[in-house]
Structure 1
Amino acid sequence: MKSLIWIILVTTPGVWSGNWGVTLKNQCALKGTSVVISCMYDYPDYHTVRSVGWYKAQYLNSMWQLVPLSNLPSTRHRFKYVGNKQNDCGLRINNVQHTDEGAYFFHFKTQYNQWTSKTYAQLFVKELTTVVQPSTVTEGGNVSLTCVSGCSTPVNVVWFRDEQAVRNTVFQARREDAGRYSCAMLGQQTVRSKSVALNVQYAPAKVKLSVSPSGEAVKGTSVTFNCSSDANPPVTQSGYSLYKDGHFISSGQKHTISDIQPSHSGLYYCQAGNNISRRGINFINSTEIHLNVQYNPVNISISMNPLHVVGGRSVNLTCSSTANPPANYTWYKRTDSLSGGDIQVGSGQVLSIPSVEQSHTGLYLCQATNQLGGNNSTELLLEMMKGWKEEHGIQFLPVIAGIGVFLFVALVLAVVLFWRKRRAHAERKQPHIGLSGRGSSSSGTEDQPNTVYANIHALPSSLPAVTDISPHAQKSSHPEYDAPTAHEDEVTYSTVTITPKKPSRSRHINSRALQDPQSKSGENDEFVIYATVAKSS
């Protein structure tokens, strides 16, 4: 290239004239910026500059050639002569591109001669480079920004993040610091370096649970839960979990219930995590939302209080159901088909009849409704008992009859017992009882049809009872009776044993009394009565 310049200088007229010269300075420019190539020239005093021009060395046809700037492609309006025709020969290049890099020569003419610079100005084109260290950082970590120009001359740099100016080049990263950073030369902020992204990682924030469709859920419809969050890196499908009343339901960002039921009502929230903790917490919960499942009335029933209705008294019929929202109740009374069907008799959960009459009897039902629909209860029969006697008399008639029979039997038993007690008391008061046909107060004769011998001996309670009386024993004890007379009939002996209540009052009533010689006093509290009964032949 030096040889080319030498040839140009030799062949150019006026080269060897005195006081001619051009002073040029190399320049480093940033791509996209504007740069001025400094240039000063000189010539003899008696010369007047008529024309000036700049050339750029181009390698054409296997050789270097000086090409006027006006002939270069895409240079129009980008190259501008900013010097004059006296001494300044400066050249401005706007929106410098890498193709502008190279050697520039200045040439001028006077009325007598022309001159081309012996040296050239070298233009270097560089770019601003942004360096962000580190480019990925966890929230709270330190970040530094560096702008590299490539030119040896220092430049004043300004910083931008997503079109917003940045003051500090060293800072602790926050999630809002994430973005694309670029730098530019002061005064030429429109020309910036290629942006570099700063990735600030942080735990999930703004965790939110939504339900679709919004509003109240209706039984039998489909409901979808969706969980979202602001996190870096984003929360994956497995990083989301859905909970109901504190119990795990499923994992994933979405959860659908195709046939919603009242049992699905409750408090729901979702949980999000991306392996980055915040204050030692790895999973962040959303706020709770309440799912309220609405449904039409079911399980409708009627109760009556009191169960047995008495004429003239009050009765309450109560209708109950399960519904969401709560049901409204309407009461109807059944009538025959000729009367036109059911008659509305009231509204509200309780139908109260203060004084029941015969016209109130019949079949009743209630209808429970809400904005989702309605259903009827089963029928309830209201029957009336006219009064207390009808209500209680029929029920207690068997009881009253039983009580009457019991009292009658008790009275009869009491009379019998009283009579027996009076009779026993009268007998205890008699001192002597005797019935005799012979040896008594009246004498018997043969003409007498029946002769009765009665011998009663009241023994002390200490004597033993005689259990066996035989004719031989009678004969040994009473010899006067060994041979029955012709006047006597066959004699039969019987034994009666009576235990006295008070031994001290025992008396001896002796009319032909016989005692067992083997009996001992004090062995028994019984006494023996012997009776002789004579039958006529």
Structure 2
Amino acid sequence: MNPTQMCIFAGMLQLVPGTPSIEPPRVNPFSFLKRWRAGEKTTVTCMVASGTAPMKFIWMKDGKELTEASSVRFKHEQGYSMLFIEPVEVNSGGNYTCVVKNRAGIDSYTTFLDVEASPRWAETPGDQKMAFGSEVKLNCRATGSPPPAVRWERFVEATQAWTKLRAEGERLDIPRVTNNETGRYRCTAVNGVQPDIRHDFLLSIYVPPKILPFHFRKTIKPGENARTTCLVEAGDAPMTFSWLRNGMDATLTKNVHVNTQADFSILNVSPVDATSAGNFTCIVKNKAGFDSFTAYLDVEAPPEWKREPMDKAGVVGNTVRIECLGSGSPSPKMSWHVEREDGLRQAVSEAIPSRATVHANGTLVLHDLDTRDSGQYTCTADNGVAPVLKKTITLKINGKDRRQERAIPIKCNSADSK
């Protein structure tokens, strides 16, 4: 029998062919029943109490439509839909909404999935080694449901006990690390779901380098080898070594060779010559600071000529310059002596005090020459290392001595003479 509608109008009963009514969906309340732990599996069913088919089911989480994934599946049937979550994860917690639609309308119901998960570390610091005075920022970050709280502690050696720090939250800040802040630290994550978790780590300070004093052996002569070792007796790696000679990069000096390892550096001068002498400085650096030590390389080299003096001639009243340049190690002291034609031998500074100048490099300058300045002049270079270096030259002064007076006849007339 076809559906009919009974209509009573104006006291008359008649059958009128009709159409079926369309009823909007109505969703029965549902829930996840309990608090679930991460790793378990759960199912919830969204059932329609009434409504005309066909109906469409949509699942949403926290206001966003869900799609099937590795841990989420749906099963849609006529009149109900099942949501499977396997396994339950920490981020599975939230508001789940079942939305049902048909041509007549829409209905929905929302329930909360409460997930409990014990804390798990997402970020922890390893052992820390810091430069003295540096700033430290360390993170202990944990996940869990409900979100864990993190507390910080430090082990006090004097009391052999853990002491709570004022730091709150996931970060520990130490503005300036000193020896007082070194030691063992612990962060603990707690959210009421057992077990609590702990993480321990060490905080220490880099030790700056300390060089063991070194020296070169005494009495090094040209042609020999000079070697010394810059050894670090304390300090944290990594370390860098550098060498200076008289304040400049030593490796730019000829015959200087450097061999550096993790905690020592060998300087070798091979072969040594007179110019090798000087102050050699080893500098060692690391993150904590630096140290340096200086040793003097003393080369014993007898004097030798850089510019040998030669015979000279001068003119009365003029100036003469005689070069006498010597080298050696240590640097030689230069001096001049004169043996005049009268046989007297004296230091130039004594023989001609007002007109003679001996420069530090050995150059002799004679001013306002006199014929008596002619003679044998000896330049001596002496640095205490045998043999002493000497060279005698002849200085010849030409011209008339201006100090020799000439006789001038003078005629004097008396006022009475006529």
TM-score range, shorter chain: 0.3 to 0.5
- Which structure: greater strand fraction? 2
- Bigger Cα Rg: 1
- Which structure: greater helix fraction? 1
